[in-house]
């Protein structure tokens, strides 16, 4: 909700992705190892709930299992 004019923000062609979704996609493209990146982020103060972290790591593992 846009608090200034009371309207919902207009959506463009692309949807907004969260930090972990962006990191997941980048790691699946081979830019870095997601579990290691998440560990480093936590050391810097990044906070994520354990269920969300587990979900993202599970998606990462599943995608890596299906790679040729």
Does the pTM of the predicted model rise above 0.85?
no
Is 41 a member of any domain? yes
On whether residue 12 sits in a domain, the answer given is: no
Quote the number of domains for the chain: 1
- The parent domain of residue 39 ranges over 19-65
pLDDT at 15 over 80: no
Residue 3 tokens, joined: 């608090």
Cα 3 to chain centroid distance, Å, stands at 26
Tell me what pLDDT residue 67 has.
73
The answer to whether residues 53 and 38 touch, using CB atoms and an 8 Å cutoff, is yes
Residue 10 has pLDDT above 70, yes or no: no
User: For residue 37, which of 64, 65, 68, 60 has the smallest C-alpha distance?
Assistant: 60
Higher pLDDT, 4 or 44: 44
Quote the CA–CA distance of 41 and 46 in Å, as a whole number: 5
Q: Is the pLDDT of residue 25 over 70?
A: yes
Q: Please check the confidence at residue 62 and state whether its pLDDT lies above 80.
A: yes
Whether 10 maps to a domain, the answer reads no
* Residue 5 placed within a domain: no
In a domain, 1, yes or no: no
Q: How confident is the model over 25-54, as a mean pLDDT?
A: 93
């Amino acid at each position: 909700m846009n608090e200034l004019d009371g309207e919902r923000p207009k959506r463009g062609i692309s949807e907004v992705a969260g930090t972990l979704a962006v990191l997941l996609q980048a790691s699946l493209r081979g830019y870095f190892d997601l579990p290691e990146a998440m560990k480093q982020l936590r050391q810097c103060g990044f906070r994520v709930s354990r269920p969300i972290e587990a979900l993202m790591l599970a998606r990462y593992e599943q995608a890596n299992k299906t790679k040729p």
